[in-house]
Structure 1
Amino acid sequence: MIIPRPRIEAALERALERAPVVALIGARQVGKTTLARKLADRAKGTLYLDLERIADRRKLEDAEAFLQAQAGHLTVLDEVQRLPELFAELRGIVDDRRAGGERSMQFLLLGSASLDLIQQVSETLAGRIIYLEMPPIGAEEAAAASIDIDRLWLRGGFPDSLTAVTDEDSYLWRQAFVRSYLERDVPMFAPRMPAAMIGRLWTMLANGQGNTLNSARLGQGLGVSAPMIGRYIDLLVDLMLVRRLQPWSGNLGKRLVKSPKIYVRDSGLVHALLEIGTLNQLLGHPVVGPSWEGFVIETLIEAAGPDVAPLFYRTADGAEIDLVFEQAGKPKVAIEVKRASAPQAERGFFVACDDLEIENRIIVGAGAEDYPARGGAKVRTLLSAVKEIREILKSPFPA
Structure 2
Amino acid sequence: MVKRKIIQILKDSIRKYPVVALLGARQVGKTTLAKVIVGKFKKPTIYLDLELTSDLSKLDEAQLFLSQYQDTLVIIDEIQRKPELFPLLRALVDQNRMPGRFLILGSASTDLLKQSSESLAGRIKYLELSPFHLAEIGASNFQKLWVRGGFPNSFLANNDTESNDWRESFISTYLERDIPQLGFRVPSIQLRRFWTMLAHNQGQLWNASQIANSLGVSAPTAKHYLNILGETFVIRELLPFFVNVGKRLVKSPKIYFRDTGILHRLLNINSFEDLQSNPIIGNSWEGFVIEEILKILPGNFAPYFYRTSAGAEIDMVLTKSNKAEVVIEAKYSLSPKLQKGFWHSIDDLKPKYKIVVYPGNETYPAKNGTIVMSIKDIPAWIRKKLLNKNSKNRVKPTLYI
Q: Same fold (TM over 0.5)?
A: yes
The RMSD of aligned alpha carbons is 1.5
Preserved contact between residue 353 and residue 359 of structure 1 (Cα < 8 Å): no
Is there any run of 5+ residues in structure 2 with no aligned partner, and where?
Answer: 393-401
Q: Deviations for 1:171-192, whole angstroms, at most 9, x for unmatched residues?
A: 1100111111111112222432
Partner of 2:136: 141
1:25 aligns with one of 20, 23, 26: 23
Instruction: Summarize the Cα distance change of 1:104–1:126 in structure 2 as closer, same or farther, 3 Å threshold.
Output: closer
Partner of 1:35: 33
1:156 aligns with one of 146, 149, 154: 149
State the secondary structure of the residue aligned to 1:344.
coil
Partner of 1:106: 101
Equivalent residue runs for 1:74-89 within 5 Å: 74-89=73-88
State the secondary structure of the residue aligned to 1:193.
coil
Identity %: 45
Partner of 1:69: 68
Equivalent residue runs for 1:277-288 within 5 Å: 277-288=270-281
Is there any run of 5+ residues in structure 1 with no aligned partner, and where?
Answer: none
Partner of 1:3: 2
Q: Deviations for 1:11-58, whole angstroms, at most 9, x for unmatched residues?
A: 111211221000000000000000000011232421111011111112
Preserved contact between residue 81 and residue 182 of structure 2 (Cα < 8 Å): no
Write the distance in 2 (CA, Å) between the matches of 1:181 and 1:122. 25
**Residue 381 of structure 1, CA deviation:** 1.1
2:7 is equivalent to residue 12 of structure 1: no
**Residue 116 of structure 1, CA deviation:** 5.1
State the secondary structure of the residue aligned to 1:192.
coil
Partner of 1:121: 116
Partner of 2:51: 52
Write the distance in 2 (CA, Å) between the matches of 1:396 and 1:4. 22
State the secondary structure of the residue aligned to 1:42.
coil
Partner of 2:297: 304
Deviates more, 1:117-126 or 1:221-230: 117-126
Deviates more, 1:155-164 or 1:383-392: 383-392
Which amino acid is 1:331 matched to? A
Write the distance in 2 (CA, Å) between the matches of 1:371 and 1:104. 47
Which amino acid is 1:129 matched to? I
Preserved contact between residue 77 and residue 109 of structure 1 (Cα < 8 Å): yes
Deviates more, 1:59-68 or 1:297-306: 59-68
Write the distance in 1 (CA, Å) between the matches of 2:30 and 2:17. 19
Aligned length, in residue pairs = 391
Deviates more, 1:336-345 or 1:223-232: 336-345
Write the distance in 2 (CA, Å) between the matches of 1:167 and 1:332. 39
State the secondary structure of the residue aligned to 1:148.
helix
Which amino acid is 1:238 matched to? E
Partner of 2:397: none
Which TM-score applies when normalising by structure 1?
A: 0.95
Preserved contact between residue 366 and residue 381 of structure 1 (Cα < 8 Å): yes
Which amino acid is 1:86 matched to? L
2:226 is equivalent to residue 226 of structure 1: no
Write the distance in 2 (CA, Å) between the matches of 1:270 and 1:105. 37
**Residue 91 of structure 1, CA deviation:** 1.0
State the secondary structure of the residue aligned to 2:283.
helix
Instruction: Summarize the Cα distance change of 1:350–1:359 in structure 2 as closer, same or farther, 3 Å threshold.
Output: farther
Which amino acid is 2:60 matched to? E
Partner of 1:245: 238
**Residue 117 of structure 1, CA deviation:** 4.8
Which amino acid is 1:123 matched to? E
Write the distance in 2 (CA, Å) between the matches of 1:273 and 1:360. 35
Partner of 2:163: 170
Preserved contact between residue 83 and residue 113 of structure 2 (Cα < 8 Å): no
Q: Deviations for 1:292-336, whole angstroms, at most 9, x for unmatched residues?
A: 110000111122133311000011111111000001111100001
Write the distance in 1 (CA, Å) between the matches of 2:135 and 2:24. 19
Preserved contact between residue 84 and residue 115 of structure 2 (Cα < 8 Å): no
**Residue 214 of structure 1, CA deviation:** 0.5
Q: Which has the higher contact order (CA 8 A, sep 6+)?
A: 2
Which amino acid is 2:102 matched to? F
Which TM-score applies when normalising by structure 2?
A: 0.94
State the secondary structure of the residue aligned to 1:15.
helix
State the secondary structure of the residue aligned to 2:242.
coil
Instruction: Summarize the Cα distance change of 1:156–1:372 in structure 2 as closer, same or farther, 3 Å threshold.
Output: same
